[in-house]
Structure 1
Amino acid sequence: MLVDGMALLFRAFYATAVSGQFMINSKGVPTNGIHGFVKHFLTAITKFNPTHVAVCWDMGSKTFRTEMFQDYKANRSEPPVELMPQFDLVKELVEAFDVPNIGLAGFEADDCIGTIAKNCDDHLSVSILTGDRDILQLLDHRISVILLQKGYGNYLVHTKESFYEEKGIHPEQMIDLKALMGDPSDNYPGVKGIGEKTALKLLQSYNNVDGILANLHQISKAQKTKIEQDLEMLHLSRKLAEIKCDVPIDYVLEDAIYQINRDKVLTKFDEFEFRGLHRLVDQQKEYA
């Protein structure tokens, strides 16, 4: 199981931050995001029972994508002050589980996840735990995606077959879908005036961006004009949308064998002044 650490931490933080419940401990440190992260993390491991677990992280806001397009994610504000100290502390907690923290400056967590998922032994099945649908482009015969839903323990599990049933395109075509329609959350526009419905129809007919461009004479004049006017942004958006699966990260599969040391974890819980999480640890099946 590959865990999108940022997705879990942000989801957990904002779920309680909205009501001002930052869980500030006796040292004056807010821990609400970390507390919720642990609940998501252990609940998923109990349900899906992976043999190996690793957590991937973004390592700063500047990546190769911001070098290509300076407005990439420029619509996102700075993290709240209550969240800032939790970025390093949550990694400490992951270390207490003897689970690897993986990340590389210049790349996003998704790129690290994609690199590991696509390049590990072919006999291994990989599940990706996230709240971010961008990762669905990685789905294949042995990669599934577990999407967090509202609350704890609620998931939408996607395979390449279920994705095709939902969208009518294959997972790898999602890159071309985002190239056409853009992504407001990542702040790149795609082709102005082309939304998801039109983009899906074009991909179902012509397979990918190259196929569409080779058949511009067959599509409506309005769609042809929009694509021709935004051709440069179409190609750039496709590069921004594609998860890199050749990131130069170092990792050892054996280091990710999931076998926790209960005392070590509970000591870290006590250090963070967590209450009510011990029972989730006791539901785990493997102890070192």
Structure 2
Amino acid sequence: MSDKDHILVVDGMALLFRGFFATSFTGNFMHNSKGVPRNGLFGFLNYFTNSMETFQPTHVVCCWDMGSKTFRNELYDGYKSNRDAPPEELIPQFDLAKEIVTAFQVPNIGVTGFEADDCIGTLAKQLHKEHEVTVVTGDQDLLQLVDENINIAIMKKGQGNYDVFTADNFYEKKSLTPHQIIDLKGLMGDSSDNYPGIKGVGEKTAMKLLQQYETIDNMLADKENLTKGMQKKLEQYAEDLTISRKLAAIHTEVPLTFSMEEALFNKDLSTIHSYLQTELEFKNPGRWLDKLQESS
């Protein structure tokens, strides 16, 4: 493969959830004649095709969660326990979104027991030594993966807006290194994933400590020079800190199979055109497909 291969790794979960919630608040679920809701799929297609148009990859792969339980639930009972079940209108759209990806001849990757994030991290770390990798997501947790040839494109409000983090601009944007993101989340916890960190330590304090000490380990080694209040917190919440660091770290050695050949982006979009029109009853698939053919 040439050095110019550019692999787009898509966070399918992020795109589908964003597509669903962007339209469902109005109660518009866009049912087809079979009564299947398609609003999430409509949004997913907007984001998926826009990411390909924007980043012009040679190869594309899409990653998914496989069920709600992962190794993190075994580490910590409360992990993500604060999240509601997906809305019933969204449930049939998960498999259909994967079918859309398959119709694009793009591989779907997911491994039971791991999150989509872990699959994304594994692929990025495997591929970046020889290829350029861009990850499209809405999930700031993935920023810890930024490295040479690994760019993280965070989706912003409005279609086609991305905040792209690279090895060159990361420190300027975050005042931390990518690896410090794990320790940042270890210290402050994560309310959306429902794990604790150190009670009473927010982002500001966590940032200050990491800028001073670089890592949690360095900070713990110099514990006696911290304020009495912080020493007390570290003793009281030692277990929470240990577990939060483990939960925050993306696992980059998921046992997955990936083939560059299968991920090569095929510019022949006739199969997907027919699938979107016939199976999903979208009246105008050209709204998504024409721009990809124009940009090829």
Establish whether TM, by shorter chain, passes 0.5: yes
TM-score by length of 2: 0.94
| 2:199 aligned with 1:192 | yes
Secondary structure at the counterpart of residue 126 of structure 1:
strand
| 2:188 aligned with 1:181 | yes
Structure 1 unmatched runs, 5+: none
Q: What is the match of residue 274 of structure 1?
A: 282
Pick from 108, 112, 120 the counterpart of residue 119 of structure 2: 112
Matched residues in 2 for 1:167 and 1:120: separation? Answer: 25
Alignment of 1:202-281 (within 5 A): 202-270=209-277, 271-281=279-289
Bigger mean CA deviation after superposition, 278-287 or 32-41: 278-287
Bigger mean CA deviation after superposition, 97-106 or 224-233: 224-233
Structure 2 CA distance for partners of 1:176 and 1:101, relative to 1, 3 Å: same
Pick from 141, 147, 155 the counterpart of residue 148 of structure 1: 155
Q: What is the match of residue 283 of structure 1?
A: 291
Contact 1:2 1:56 in 2 (8 A): yes
Structure 2 unmatched runs, 5+: 1-7
Matched residues in 2 for 1:93 and 1:206: separation? Answer: 47
Q: What amino acid is the match of 1:279?
A: R
Q: What is the match of residue 91 of structure 2?
A: 84
Matched residues in 2 for 1:277 and 1:36: separation? Answer: 13
Structure 1 stretches of at least 4 aligned residues deviating more than 3 Å after TM superposition: 285-288
Matched residues in 2 for 1:141 and 1:73: separation? Answer: 31
| 2:52 aligned with 1:52 | no
| CA apart distance, 1:275 | 2.9
Secondary structure at the counterpart of residue 144 of structure 1:
strand
Q: What is the match of residue 32 of structure 1?
A: 39
Secondary structure at the counterpart of residue 284 of structure 1:
helix
Contact 1:5 1:56 in 2 (8 A): yes
Q: What is the RMSD computed on CA atoms of the aligned residues? A: 1.4
Secondary structure at the counterpart of residue 54 of structure 1:
strand
Q: What is the match of residue 21 of structure 1?
A: 28
Counting aligned pairs with the same residue, the percent is 52
TM-score by length of 1: 0.97
Matched residues in 2 for 1:43 and 1:227: separation? Answer: 45
